[in-house]
Amino acid sequence: MTEYLVAKIDDMSENSVRAVKAGRHVVAVYRVDGEFYALHNTCPHKGGAMCDGMIVPEKLVVRCPWHHWNWRLDSGELESDPRQKIRQFDVKVVGDEVVLTV
């Protein structure tokens, strides 16, 4: 496992996303209501870039920009069918930095 610096906490505003190249992965890192979440940046349905999706904070989901499927930020599960998932990654705050583990 390797750690990657995503940003300083203050560099990411509330309800925002940042795409990060981490090794062979591109990961979408979200800040929603002060918490950080990380999902693989590719929707498994048809390959839409999840960093371009709309964040719906009150449902804790990101909506795929291509077909509007809602993916849960806290579990990676498809809202309408939890058997389908996007890969999640660990993300944590260390001091004033947001750190992704891949």
Number of domains in the chain: 1
Query: Which residues in the chain come in under a pLDDT of 50?
Result: none
pTM: 0.95
Q: What is the CATH number of the domain that holds 85?
A: 2.102.10.10
pLDDT tens for each residue of 42-62: 999 899 999 999 999 999 999
Cβ–Cβ under 8 Å, residues 12 and 31: yes
Rg (CA), the chain: 13
User: What does the pLDDT read at residue 64?
Assistant: 96
What range does the domain containing 95 cover? 3-101
- Residue pair 3/89 in contact (Cβ under 8 Å)? The answer is no
